[in-house]
Amino acid sequence: MDLFDKCHINLLDEIRAKHIYPYFHCLESRQAPVVEMEGQKRIMLGSNNYLGLTEDEQVIAAGKAALEQYGTGVSGSRFLNGTLDMHLRLEQTLARFTGYEAAMICSTGFQTNLAIISSICGKDDYILNDRENHASIYDATRLSYATQVRYRHSDMEDLERRLQSIPPEAGKLIVTDGVFSMRGDICRLPDICDLADKYNARVMVDDAHGFGVLGEGGRGTAAHFGLTDRVDITMLTFSKSLASIGGCMLASQRVTDYVRHTSRPFIFSASLTPSATATALAALEQLEQDPTRPERLMQLTRHFQQALLKAGVKIIEAPTPIVPIFTYHTLATLFYGKRLFEEGVYVNPVIAPACVEGECLLRTTLMATHSEEVLDEAVEIIARVLRQGSPFDGQ
């Protein structure tokens, strides 16, 4: 067998032949509630820009100022020549804002999970993963050489059975998304923390989609439940609510120092660029100054969900700005995604392996800067397109 034989993907050829290929659409404007994509105005319901800060003028100005002061990059890792005073300020601000002792920033969210898990866990340890955790968590688990144990999505009875099967003396880390990125549901964090206490395990929350959305002032999933002191490690990203790119580990000073000095993904990667650091810091300052942004986001979420239900659109209801619409089957999902794009609404078609086959969906997401009028227009288009049906329903 030739190495490249695997590069032939039957589904890819099929969906291109049917003209329903949904990926790599070209954005030609800012990530706003209404964007310019491929020469047409489209309502943006497929962004993770939850607080709408990517087009905030103060955030943009901070990025420009950092380019002038520090140049375009740092040309090295944090470990050697790549630590800026601004990196330290961002870490200190994040730790203070969230209530943790220390923070460590990385260049991407994906890298942050690799950095944390591959350093904290080793071959004699066990990692318990919710089946719907993000792909970066699963890749980090492989990199750690720890034994992976998967439990059914948000099934606490299954999680307890798995914990019972692990040697009591072994190191154990329970890892969960705070907000699950495809379905928008929130993890059962109180139950997870109780089980961790019972079986001497540690808890890590990937809060990429919870930070800036849940909790007092957008402080995240642990704050939402009042459990910051019981969550040992929180990971968050800057590419969602903080309008930049990068990621962060929040933990005790001792654990943070350990990861800083042992994590290969952290030590051997170039550090976050000055402009990305400055925009994340400015976005965080905006969130601190205006804690009503997450409240506005939740108001819009409720309005959008109620409007969809009233229009007869079947959705997954959750208290987050991720609003999935059931479409069930792969080809039908891609067809509806294309039709909505043509009608001026951009959504994310979600098919296997990002979801279970037969549970495909259109993932829609909101921004705090959307208006009710724009969302109502989107609902009218979505309901009309779905009512018209698809030649691929059931496929």
List pLDDT tens digits, range 182-233.
999 999 999 999 999 999 999 999 999 999 999 999 999 999 999 999 999 9
Cα–Cα distance for residue pair 262/254, rounded to 1 Å? 12
Read off the pLDDT of each residue in 61-90 and give the average, rounded to a whole number.
96
Residue 314 is a catalytic residue: no
End-to-end, the C-alpha distance of the chain in Å comes to 31
Residue 181 is a catalytic residue: yes
Is the predicted pLDDT of residue 394 greater than 80, yes or no? no
What stretches of the chain adopt beta strand conformation (E)?
34-37, 40-44, 102-106, 126-130, 147-151, 172-177, 202-206, 233-237, 247-251, 322-328, 345-346, 348-350, 360-365
Q: Report residue 180 as tokens.
A: 């699950």
Cα–Cα distance for residue pair 370/380, rounded to 1 Å? 16
- Class of the 3-50+291-388 domain? alpha beta
Cα–Cα distance for residue pair 72/272, rounded to 1 Å? 11
pLDDT digits (tens, 9 = 90+) for 345-364: 999 999 988 888 888 999 99
Is the predicted pLDDT of residue 9 greater than 90, yes or no? no
Which pairing describes strands 345-346 and 40-44: parallel, antiparallel, or unpaired? parallel
**DSSP character at residue 201:** -
Q: Which residue among 134, 172, 209, 338 is the active-site one?
A: 209
- Class of the 57-289 domain? alpha beta
Residue 209 is a catalytic residue: yes
Q: Which residue among 240, 329, 338, 370 is the active-site one?
A: 240
Q: Domain coordinates of the chain in residue numbers?
A: 3-50+291-388, 57-289
Residue 92 pLDDT = 98
Read off the pLDDT of each residue in 163-187 and give the average, rounded to a whole number.
97
Percent of the chain with pLDDT over 90: 94
Q: Which residue among 107, 119, 136, 181 is the active-site one?
A: 181
Residue 395 pLDDT = 64
Is the predicted pLDDT of residue 84 greater than 80, yes or no? yes
Is the predicted pLDDT of residue 122 greater than 70, yes or no? yes
Cα–Cα distance for residue pair 231/69, rounded to 1 Å? 37
pTM for the model: 0.95
CB-hemisphere CA count at 13 Å for 185? Answer: 13
∠ CA 155-158-159, rounded to 5°: 85
Which pairing describes strands 172-177 and 322-328: parallel, antiparallel, or unpaired? unpaired
Contact between 250 and 101 under an 8 Å Cβ cutoff? The reply is no
pLDDT digits (tens, 9 = 90+) for 239-254: 999 999 999 999 999 9
